[in-house]
Chains A and B, each alone.
Chain A
């Protein structure tokens, strides 16, 4: 009796030593086995722990001693099944001198249990809950005495605490890892506003290993218009070899995801991967009952698919493409709307996808949902901001023009009257001088005065033209629309430049609309625009060059179909400053010019509902795009 008490105390001391020395579950189990085997003089010993990760709790053989090596890997028992299962379910110790004869006995060839005659099975109870079972086995028949049973029960009670601690520690380690991962990922995501980069970071986080690391991740986004799920991004190795390489690389980087992601310069590499291409080639219609991905999006709930080849919601072709034994799909639902779905699998290491994995995945997809939502909002904001800016610019432009118009009208009126007087009287002067010239005595004397008055008349004419230009700018364009054959108009304009083209040896290339293109335009005004464009082009090529006039495919501007004409010169382009100011009234680089040409041209084209755009190709030339609507807007009033 004293001996047994001493043994009990010895065992307690050893267990206390274990609990003080380690939090590693495997070490605890191994040391426990040693103690049991040595102190109780038995032949074999095994420890089962209850796993609750899956919906059905089960007993897993975690450690054994005196049994074949490696036996612990794949032995599972349902509670209630076998001797161990009975003990776990009933939370009662069972001592069997002839275990093989007991009806509860289940035979596992892997651990050669049939060699053992007797066994003692003790539940590991923690707060009246069974967390596992310790078994001892003997080869010869043995009757376990009550003190022996008491000793093992005491040990079981003590070791249960150690194991609980170890499990808790393991769990919190895992949680900490998850939290760190989430934290690192969200920090990294905050570092950029580009959706693709953010998604890349998130998918990298999901496939990075560590807590809940999957082999591959595949992101689909919902396309509301065409009612499909469109593959958007795929992250993961293309082959088992690549997987092995990446994971060995990752082992060095693990633990500092943030640093790695932020310094990762080759993030575009994934775009060239076969898996990403596969991802982007997939389109899945959002029809109920057809595809597990569509189901996920429509029902807004995750799916875990084992054996996809046999699953009714997984088309054979899709299962073949993925090639994995199981995969999980979770929806991205930041609010009510499903933005897309995320598919993950473990194609290369075939690790099972656990409930824990699913929980982490759900948390990560929340992030992904936010990223997409934010990015959509951001893009919307960016777009409306850009629109606002361009509207503002247009407003400034039109305000400028309006102010200019008012000022111009005022100035014109004030200048025009004296101009008319000067010019008018000078004409009279010249006429009278010419009249006097009929007297041969005076003719010589009057040569110069006549010449001078001619100069005044010419200069006044020039000033009047300038004033008329200004006035044309300031007054609303009144269009006289008629159906005009655009080819004919272009040829007509070119004809008026024929001399210049020949003199300067300019090569002219025409790619005109093949069919007869008849547009409702103000013939003389559009002609003025073309003359303006061409004279600019000619002036940029004083020593010859190439002038191309081409018709481009129709475009849509403000929902209206437009004929697009392109005038391209090889005059070397213009300076940035010129380019920026080219549509400003009065801006000119020419010695003789009012600077109103392009400004008026643009106004004319815009009053047609079209657009005039300029592209500067430095050192090559300038390309002018002229867009004219093919049809009148229905509400356009011809008058």
Chain B
């Protein structure tokens, strides 16, 4: 089963994403910060990561860079509350960028596209 790691500091967002993505038939692992995420990547070996940017401690962009530097070959979808980071060239390293919305349709479609492409 395809496994997705959801990295977000907001517990409710993690819960929402988990339930919605499980309904879509994915297995979902959760991490509340970069540290947890790095552990989860080792243990859960996800096929795809959704990554929030604004988090306490190491933020999403720094984590993204670390993952790419470590040559972790896992596709990453940035999931941010706002689109301004699209201008930041560092996020171009990610596979996709989705602005958070209560309507998760865009996220689900993007996940499908990214998985199909990889």
Contact = CB atoms under 8 A, between A and B. Distances in A.
Contacts of A472: 83
A55 B40 CA distance: 111
- Give the size category of B's interface with A: 10 to 19
B82 A416 contact: yes
A407 interface: no
Interface stretch (B13-21, B31-39, B41-49, B65-73): B13-21
Interface string B71-89: 0000000000111101100
A422 B16 CA distance: 10
B87 A476 contact: yes
A425 interface: yes
Contacts of A412: 81-82
- Of B12, B100, B101, B102, most buried by chain A (CB within 10 Å of CB) is B102
Contacts of A424: 13, 16, 20, 102, 104
B8 to A, nearest CB: 8
B15 to A, nearest CB: 8
B32 to A, nearest CB: 13
Nearest to A467: B82
8 contacts: A409-B82, A417-B12, A420-B81, A421-B16, A422-B102, A425-B16, A427-B102, A471-B82
B62 interface: no
B103 A423 contact: yes
Nearest to B53: A413
A475 B100 contact: no
Given A420-B13, A468-B83, A472-B83, 7 more contacts: A412-B81, A420-B81, A424-B104, A426-B102, A460-B102, A475-B83, A478-B87
A423 B20 CA distance: 13
Contacts of B20: 424, 428
Interface in A27-54: none
Given A413-B82, A428-B16, A471-B82, A420 B101 contact: yes
Q: Closest 6 CB pairs between A and B?
A: A423-B102, A416-B81, A421-B12, A424-B16, A475-B84, A413-B81
A101 to B, nearest CB: 116
B35 to A, nearest CB: 20
Interface string B88-118: 0000000000011111100000000000000
B10 A421 contact: yes
B54 A464 contact: no
A420 B100 contact: yes
B81 A427 contact: no
Interface of B: 10, 12-13, 16, 19-20, 54, 81-84, 86-87, 99-104
Nearest to B105: A427
Contacts of A422: 102
A457 B102 contact: yes
B16 A420 contact: yes
B38 to A, nearest CB: 23
Contact of A413 (B54, B87, B103): B54
A412 B12 CA distance: 17
- Among A419, A423, A424, A428, which residue has the most Cβ atoms of chain B within 10 A? A424
Nearest to B19: A428
A423 B87 CA distance: 27
Interface string A454-498: 000100110010011001101110100000000000000000000
A607 B17 CA distance: 37
Contacts of A417: 10, 12-13, 81, 100
B84 A419 contact: no
A464 B102 contact: yes
A553 interface: no
Interface string A416-449: 1111111111111000000000000000000000
A416 B103 contact: no
A408 to B, nearest CB: 9
B61 to A, nearest CB: 14
Nearest to A408: B82
Contacts of A425: 12, 16
| B10, B86, B101 — most chain A CB neighbours (10 Å) | B101
A421 B100 CA distance: 10
B56 to A, nearest CB: 13
Nearest to B9: A417
A296 to B, nearest CB: 64
Nearest to A413: B81
A602 B13 CA distance: 36
B16 A471 contact: no
A409 B104 CA distance: 21
Contacts of B10: 417, 421
Contacts of B12: 417-418, 421, 425
A420 B102 contact: yes
Contact of A409 (B19, B84, B103): B84
A472 B54 CA distance: 18
Contacts of B83: 468, 471-472, 475
Interface in A175-191: none
A464 B102 CA distance: 8
A472 B84 CA distance: 8
Given A413-B81, A413-B82, A427 B103 contact: yes
Interface centre among B81, B83, B100, B104 (most CB of A within 10 A): B81
A637 to B, nearest CB: 14
A464 B86 CA distance: 18
A535 B101 CA distance: 27
Contacts of A409: 82, 84
Contacts of A421: 10, 12-13, 16, 102
Q: Determine which residue in A417, A418, A422, A467 has the highest number of CB atoms from chain B within 10 A of its CB, and name it.
A: A417
A425 B16 CA distance: 7
A461 B101 CA distance: 9
A413 B83 CA distance: 10
Of A420, A468, A475, most buried by chain B (CB within 10 Å of CB) is A420
Contacts of B104: 424, 427
Interface string A306-322: 00000000000000000
Nearest to A421: B12
**A427, A460, A472: which has the most chain B beta carbons within 10 Å?**
A427
A417 B103 CA distance: 12
Contacts of B16: 420-421, 424-425, 428
